Amino acid sequence: MIDIDEIRKRTEESMRKCFEKSRELVDAIEVPSQGNEADPSDTDTAEDPNAGNERQVEILGQIFSAGDMAQMAASEDLLRKMVEEKVAEATASAGGNIMEQLFGEDMGVLAAALEMLDTEDADEDGPAFSLEMEAALYTALEDAMARIESLPEPDPIAYQKDDAKWNRFGILLSGIVSDLNDHDLSRMDVEEHIPVMEQKIVSIVRRSWGINGRSELLDMIRYLAQDGYIMRYQLYAEASSPEELMDETMDEDDRESTRRAWRFAQRYKDHYSPDFMAGWDTGRAAMLARWGCYLGWITENEAVGILWDLSHSAAEKFHSWREFAESYLFGGLMWKLLCGDSSAGSYLGYIADAATDLLIGKTEDNSGQWRDCPWPARRKIGFVL
């Protein structure tokens, strides 16, 4: 027999651990002493049992902005309500996996809240790059691309000029990033509009992209659509030596980064033209458009227009979802080489897995979205008699 009280306890314990992180931040802070004078807050604490909590709020206010404090409070109330609703649903359920209902996708929301409260960076250095590691990454890239090329895919189909399928196709251009982030691919919004998820998306866009609002978002989308890694790969491929791409402002890490990317471009320049980078640029630009719409930085009509342009550009450059995914793998490795990220091999595996889910799907998941939306066939040029 299912013990609902036990389920409730386990759920509330998970939530408690999530919000305990904020109190750990306070405990780790040493409040500076004000000489030998009595600290008024010490006196208040002795007289008022609520003063300790007020002091915690004061210290948190020094760490977080007023908006952050309000966000944390709203998130805590929201998560408590979520627990109550889920337990009520489980109690009323006559069958099914109740534990999965309670600890399934909503635990991801709790994890997101914990991530937002954690301000410490895990700076663990990975192994240093070497020529042997680069060679292994080239092999991993080529194996992953061959794996994608072997997957089944429907033949391209003709899209009419005003076909509604273009809107669907545009959203699916963000498929790999969406899959890696567990985003919704059925509509423009990437997630439900709840405070925790909105804060998570803001964090991704600001920390990973350095984008803080509408203007910067549109500038980045424009850069990816017009130049992006297509231009970067071309510059590295055309340079006769990595030193041509360096200047006196670069430190040794930047110089090593340039050398790695130059060796990458030299290896593949006779096999892949700069336009082959378009999938890497387009996929990320499409994701930024959806993130920007979700955050309210651009309107949905603006996002639809951006995806429309990206869709037609991608349809002109590629022949299939497989080719698009291979481009994303290709650009992803060059990016990791430029960053000096030793986790590049794992990243390639994640991309290949995401593309596989999108192309063939899993019966138990809502996947295979690329399979269900065939690539647009190129229109024939000339008159039809």
Find the helix or strand (DSSP H, E) in which 204 lies: helix 195-209
**pLDDT tens, 234-258?**
999 999 999 999 999 999 999 999 9
pLDDT (0 to 100) of residue 14: 52
In the numeric block, which tokens belong to residue 50? 């609520």
pLDDT (0 to 100) of residue 227: 94
Residues 6+ apart with CB under 8 A from 257: 337, 338, 339, 340
pLDDT (0 to 100) of residue 88: 57
Q: Which residue has the higher pLDDT, 208 or 60?
A: 208
* pLDDT category of residue 163 using cuts at 50, 70 and 90: confident
For the ranges 91-95, 246-250, 312-316, 322-326, which has the lowest average pLDDT? 91-95
In the numeric block, which tokens belong to residue 345? 């091999």
Share the mean pLDDT of the chain. Answer: 79
* pLDDT category of residue 260 using cuts at 50, 70 and 90: very high
For the ranges 38-52, 75-89, 300-314, 318-332, which has the lowest average pLDDT? 38-52
Alpha-carbon span 266 to 169, nearest angstrom = 33
Q: Which residue has the higher pLDDT, 249 or 97?
A: 249
Taking a C-beta distance cutoff of 8 angstroms, is the pair 90, 101 a contact?
yes
User: Does residue 32 carry a pLDDT above 70?
Assistant: no
pLDDT (0 to 100) of residue 253: 94
Alpha-carbon span 292 to 189, nearest angstrom = 10
Segment 40-53 shows an average pLDDT of 42
Could you tell me what percent of the chain has a pLDDT over 90? Answer: 61
User: Does residue 57 carry a pLDDT above 50?
Assistant: no
**pLDDT tens, 201-230?**
999 999 999 999 999 999 999 999 999 999
Q: Which residue has the higher pLDDT, 16 or 196?
A: 196
Residue 222, Ramachandran bin (φ over 0: left; ψ between -120 and 50: alpha; else beta): alpha
Q: Which residue has the higher pLDDT, 347 or 105?
A: 347
User: Does residue 40 carry a pLDDT above 50?
Assistant: no
Residue pointed to by tokens 């066939």: 377
User: Does residue 73 carry a pLDDT above 60?
Assistant: no
What is the residue extent of each domain of the chain? 4-117, 131-360
Segment 366-383 shows an average pLDDT of 80
Strand partners, 157: 376
Helices (H) and strands (E) in the chain, counts: 17, 0
Q: What is the sign, positive or negative, of the torsion defined by CA atoms of 62, 66, 72, 73?
A: positive
Residue pointed to by tokens 């008159």: 383
Alpha-carbon span 276 to 271, nearest angstrom = 10
What single-letter DSSP state applies at residue 127? P
pLDDT (0 to 100) of residue 56: 47
pLDDT (0 to 100) of residue 317: 95
Residues 6+ apart with CB under 8 A from 350: 180
Q: Which amino acid is at 355?
A: A
For the ranges 21-25, 197-201, 281-285, which has the lowest average pLDDT? 21-25
Segment 20-32 shows an average pLDDT of 47
Burial (0-12, 13-18, 19+ Cβ within 10 Å), 88: exposed
pLDDT (0 to 100) of residue 6: 53
pLDDT (0 to 100) of residue 12: 57
Taking a C-beta distance cutoff of 8 angstroms, is the pair 102, 14 a contact?
no
For the ranges 155-159, 161-165, 175-179, which has the lowest average pLDDT? 161-165
Segment 153-161 shows an average pLDDT of 93
In the numeric block, which tokens belong to residue 332? 């992803």
**pLDDT tens, 108-144?**
444 444 444 433 344 445 577 899 999 999 999 999 9
User: Does residue 186 carry a pLDDT above 90?
Assistant: yes
pLDDT (0 to 100) of residue 161: 84
